[in-house]
Structure 1
Amino acid sequence: MTSQSELFRTPGPSLPDGARLRTVATVHGLITFTLARSRRRSIGFVIGSEGLRVTAPYWVSLKQIDEAVLEKAEWIQKKLDFWRQRNETADQAQQSWLACTQLPYLGTTISIDIDAGARQARFDGDHFAPQVQDTLWLALPAEASAAQRRAAAAHWLQTQAQQYFDLRIHVLANNAGLQFQAWRLSRARARWGSCNSSGSIRLNWRLIHFTPDIIDYVIAHELAHLKQMNHSERFWQQVGMILPGYEAAMQKLKTTDMSALPALQA
């Protein structure tokens, strides 16, 4: 029977100078790793998309290295399983981008396809009121790679985010009698928005995946910081003044993991 670690991507044939492949049998299955030597004082473990890399001092014996791997076998196998699943998900995403795929846009799932004869991307629905049957046509050759398709889709989404967020931030600010210095799109990996003391606001472009109520909540949240640079009771009162009934959208956003969003190039 093939073990899970054997199914995991092993290091490629091009190894770093002086490195070698080594396999240790553990109760959790075979663990194959790249072994490299260095002047470090202890044995180091690094696990990533290519598997396990062990770096050990020159004076440490192979037996000691194997024993160190055995000691951490359960932890190593869990990490390898995590990266194996992540690699499989990435491979599936790569394949889906080579055919028709779908994306969440303003809370609706739209289709993505190719129009090899077009000069620019086009959307066959209402840009700010999409329906499930709508399609985004990317102006790419039929043989375009998955990376090209992802990049083209991301560019279109960012363009829509720029236009839609600009509309909504001005509407909400004007209704609340607030003035901000400037705003721009953000590509942050862990924040939906920000506002600094000078009144400059940043909004994560990936909010364009979500429903309008969530987008409005994030905008209202950042606008409220123009009055309260904190999260005090007064701050939340300010959010409520800008966007009454914001609580439902806030709760929905709290349950969203950024890593669950489509893998697009930003």
Structure 2
Amino acid sequence: MEDWSLPGAPEISVRFRRSSRARRMSLRVSRLDGRVTLTLPRWAPEAQARDFLEQKAGWVRGQLAGRPAEIVPRFGGRLPVEGIEREICPAAGRKVVFSGGRIEVPGPEEAVPGRLAGALKVLARERLAAASNEYAARLGRPYNRLTLRDTRSRWGSCSSAGALMYSWRLILAPPEVLRYVAAHEVAHLRQMDHSPAFWAVVAELEPGYARPRAWLREHGTALHRYRFA
């Protein structure tokens, strides 16, 4: 079955997915990117799926209307970096510079999103490596490697082989939020589950982790509003 469009203004693209585990049809609107997914049981005919989608058209549009607007960084716009709202300004030179309440970006405006993304990833790696190194040293548990991705479903992970992965968008959040995620993932080097023993390790590394954890739950989705490509 090909993806289908929900007619109207604007037209909405809908992704169809069949699942052997689904017992009924269900609709999901992603809070991160607005993608609409209709999941069907293997047995459901296409005509029934289309009828179901048309019946739910009002609900889908309501969900999309409630999403924050996407933001593409441009000169004169603002972007949070380490929790501080900064103005994006044109600049000479070759490097992006984070200076107080400004982000100085060289080159033409159409290059701003890509150049910002590159500079943010460099800064994110620097901050996350520093925090991970600190916590791993305190636990006496070295990690294997550190990678950055633009993940949607999680802010970080730690494999059984000690490989750490983080979302580079954490650099947009306040520093204590980034450090909490680093403490969370490094804690898995000692305790791979999310048992009380695991949270005791997190508290050992970051005693005040509850506050940044709550911030991420409340505001984390907004970090995905920014589009760099």
How far has the Cα of 1:178 moved from its partner?
Answer: 2.4
Counterparts of 2:203 and 2:105, CA distance in 1:
40
Identity %: 25
- Give the corresponding residue for 2:128: 165
Helix, strand or coil for the counterpart of 1:256?
helix
TM score, norm. by length of structure 2: 0.72
The answer on whether the counterparts of 1:106 and 1:210 sit within 8 Å (CA) in structure 2 is yes
Helix, strand or coil for the counterpart of 1:189?
coil
Counterparts of 1:221 and 1:98, CA distance in 2:
34
Helix, strand or coil for the counterpart of 2:47?
coil
1:119 aligns with one of 72, 94, 98: 94
TM score, norm. by length of structure 1: 0.63
- Give the corresponding residue for 2:106: 139
- Give the corresponding residue for 1:89: 69
- Give the corresponding residue for 1:199: 162
Q: How does 1:1-266 map to 2 (within 5 A)?
A: 8-9=9-10, 42=47, 44-45=49-50, 72=54, 75-83=56-64, 89-90=69-70, 93=71, 97-115=73-91, 117-125=92-100, 134-141=101-108, 144-145=109-110, 148-265=111-228
How far has the Cα of 1:76 moved from its partner?
Answer: 1.3
CA offset digits 1:217-264 (Å, max 9, x no partner): 111111111111101111111111222222222222222342554322
Counterparts of 1:41 and 1:82, CA distance in 2:
23
How far has the Cα of 1:99 moved from its partner?
Answer: 4.1
Q: Which has the larger radius of gyration?
A: 1
| Alpha-carbon distance change, 42 to 106 in structure 1, aligned in 2, over 3 angstroms | same
| Alpha-carbon distance change, 137 to 262 in structure 1, aligned in 2, over 3 angstroms | farther
Counterparts of 2:177 and 2:206, CA distance in 1:
11
Counterparts of 2:194 and 2:60, CA distance in 1:
37
How far has the Cα of 1:10 moved from its partner?
Answer: 5.2
How far has the Cα of 1:123 moved from its partner?
Answer: 2.4
Counterparts of 1:200 and 1:112, CA distance in 2:
34
What CA RMSD, in Å, does the superposition of the two structures yield over aligned residues?
2.8
The answer on whether the counterparts of 1:106 and 1:212 sit within 8 Å (CA) in structure 2 is yes
Question: Unaligned stretches of 5+ in structure 1?
Answer: 12-39, 46-67, 126-133
The answer on whether the counterparts of 2:80 and 2:86 sit within 8 Å (CA) in structure 1 is yes
Helix, strand or coil for the counterpart of 1:235?
helix
Counterparts of 1:152 and 1:246, CA distance in 2:
32
Helix, strand or coil for the counterpart of 1:111?
strand
Counterparts of 1:189 and 1:10, CA distance in 2:
24
Counterparts of 1:178 and 1:166, CA distance in 2:
14
The answer on whether the counterparts of 1:195 and 1:226 sit within 8 Å (CA) in structure 2 is yes
Number of aligned residue pairs: give it. Answer: 191
| Alpha-carbon distance change, 184 to 199 in structure 1, aligned in 2, over 3 angstroms | same
Counterparts of 1:216 and 1:41, CA distance in 2:
47
Question: Unaligned stretches of 5+ in structure 2?
Answer: 1-6, 13-44
Helix, strand or coil for the counterpart of 1:42?
helix
How far has the Cα of 1:163 moved from its partner?
Answer: 1.1
CA offset digits 1:95-123 (Å, max 9, x no partner): xx4441111111111111122x4222222
- Give the corresponding residue for 1:57: none
